């Protein structure tokens, strides 16, 4: 049933909304066998869809895909044979892969993404006649696969950029069903909204904002004579406990669980720390995402061989908090708490 509850801005789709016949008789080329690729390919295959994994000759992922019982071809052969081409190589290599496969993607075929960057910023310009869709699980691939195997689902996003056949949306919904997303719920969005909100969220809050907040907190304590170990525990390690509470019960659940002192201190001081100037910075960050400034910078950075990226990474690794953290994590049992699968790195290519 489609959830039209007015508390949602968008429709949420579940299993019964999808018509599996829209994907079951199609051939799907899954390009790439990394985090998302291995999960989409195996889930589709388990559901009876004809899957071809597209990988370069000599790719180290070939052996993995074959031992998982999948047929492997080169990306251009796979795309030429397929009705649906699922572009699951890294975003930075997608334009080059598109060049190599474009001839085999014909009118009536579908080009399918799990993130909209290259379409939204015109790094891939799809030809007329080809449907362009997105089914983006809101989880890393190993969870998309694990949930599916346990008869559970992974929430996802669905978007249609180009609908030339009139069937793009129905087919994407069937694809979302086949990889297990409609078991948990699929939200409709647009390529623009998915890309811009994703980039903003990771820059301002999730990856950029949080690490910056943690470093500033740590440095403030250490510069004022507190021990590095205490500063690490307070500003980094305990963040997990707070995030877990917010994940489970929202901010209200977190405020209910912490002490009244923590709640009062947080409520009175939080907005003094992250004040209106931070909000102004966020507006600028969002504007740079919206007007393409960030995208142009990142594309140019890649074309130049990633000089700034490499330097910033080295600088981040050299921060004192990383040093003390490494020592502390090796001393305490919680360092090994995470299961092997949760910490598993994505299979590397090359």
The DSSP symbol for 276 reads H
Alpha helices in 191-292 (DSSP H): 191-200, 208-223, 228-232, 239-257, 260-273, 276-290
Secondary structure of 290-307 in the HEC alphabet?
HCCHHHHHHHHHHHCCCH
Q: Could you count the other beta carbons within 10 Å of the beta carbon of residue 25?
A: 11
Binds 161: which of Mg ion, ligand NAD, none (CB < 5-8 Å by kind)? none
Q: How many residues bind Mg ion (CB under 5 A)?
A: 2
Q: Which stretch binds ligand NAD (CB under 6 A): 30-38, 177-185, 205-213, 265-273?
A: 30-38
Q: Which stretch binds Mg ion (CB under 5 A): 99-107, 144-152, 155-163, 248-256?
A: 99-107
Neighbours of 215 (CB within 10 A): 17
Residue 349 touches ligand NAD, criterion: CB under 6 A: yes
Which one, 47 or 104, has the nearer CB to Mg ion? 104
Query: Residue 141 Cβ, how far from ligand NAD at the closest point, in Å?
Result: 5
Count residues near ligand NAD (CB under 6 A). 25
- Among 28, 52, 72, 88, which residue sits at the site for ligand NAD (rule: CB under 6 A)? 88
Measured from each CB, the residue nearest to Mg ion is 109
> For ligand NAD, which is the closer residue by CB, 117 or 232?
117
Q: For residue 156, what are the β-bridge partners?
A: 137, 186
Residue 266: other Cβ atoms inside 10 A: 16
Contact 2/11 with Cβ under 8 angstroms? Answer: yes
**Site membership for ligand NAD, residue 33 (CB under 6 A):** yes
Q: Which is nearer to ligand NAD, 93 or 282 (CB)?
A: 93
Q: Which does 33 bind (CB under 5 to 8 A by kind): Mg ion, ligand NAD, none?
A: ligand NAD
Which residues are annotated as catalytic? 115
- How far, in Å, are 39, 51, 114, 189, 338 from residue 31 at the CA level? 12, 10, 12, 23, 30
Least separation in angstroms between CB 31 and ligand NAD: 7
């Amino acid at each position: 049933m489609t959830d039209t509850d007015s508390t949602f801005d968008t429709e949420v789709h579940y299993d019964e909304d999808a018509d599996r016949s829209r994907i079951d008789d199609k051939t799907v080329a899954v390009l790439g066998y990394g985090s998302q690729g291995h999960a989409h390919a195996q889930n589709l295959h388990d559901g009876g869809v004809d899957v071809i994994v597209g990988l370069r000759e000599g790719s180290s992922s070939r052996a993995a895909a074959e031992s998982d019982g999948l047929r492997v071809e080169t990306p251009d052969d796979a795309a030429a044979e397929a009705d649906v081409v699922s572009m699951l190589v890294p975003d930075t290599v997608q334009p080059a892969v598109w060049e190599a496969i474009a001839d085999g993607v014909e009118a009536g075929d579908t080009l399918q993404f799990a993130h909209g960057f290259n379409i939204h910023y015109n790094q891939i310009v799809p030809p007329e006649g080809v449907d362009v869709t997105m089914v983006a699980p809101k989880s890393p691939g190993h969870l998309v696969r694990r949930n599916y195997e346990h008869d559970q689902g992974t929430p996802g996003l669905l978007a249609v950029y180009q609908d030339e056949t009139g069937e793009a949306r129905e087919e994407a919904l069937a694809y979302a069903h086949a990889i297990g997303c409609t078991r948990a719920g699929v939200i409709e969005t647009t390529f623009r909204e998915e890309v811009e909100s994703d980039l903003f969220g990771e820059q301002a809050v999730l990856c950029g904002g949080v690490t910056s907040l943690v470093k500033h907190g740590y440095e403030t304590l250490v510069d004022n004579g507190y021990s590095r170990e205490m500063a690490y525990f307070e500003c980094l390690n305990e963040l997990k406990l707070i995030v877990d509470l917010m994940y489970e019960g929202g901010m209200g659940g977190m405020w209910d669980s912490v002490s009244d002192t923590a709640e009062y201190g947080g409520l009175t001081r939080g907005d003094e720390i992250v004040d209106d100037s931070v909000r102004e910075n966020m507006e600028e960050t969002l504007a740079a995402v919206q007007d393409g400034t960030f995208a142009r910078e990142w594309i140019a950075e890649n074309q130049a061989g990633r000089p700034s990226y490499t330097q910033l990474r080295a600088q981040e690794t050299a921060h004192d908090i990383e040093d003390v953290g490494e020592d502390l994590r090796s001393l305490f049992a919680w360092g090994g708490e995470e299961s092997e699968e949760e910490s598993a790195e994505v299979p590397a290519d090359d």
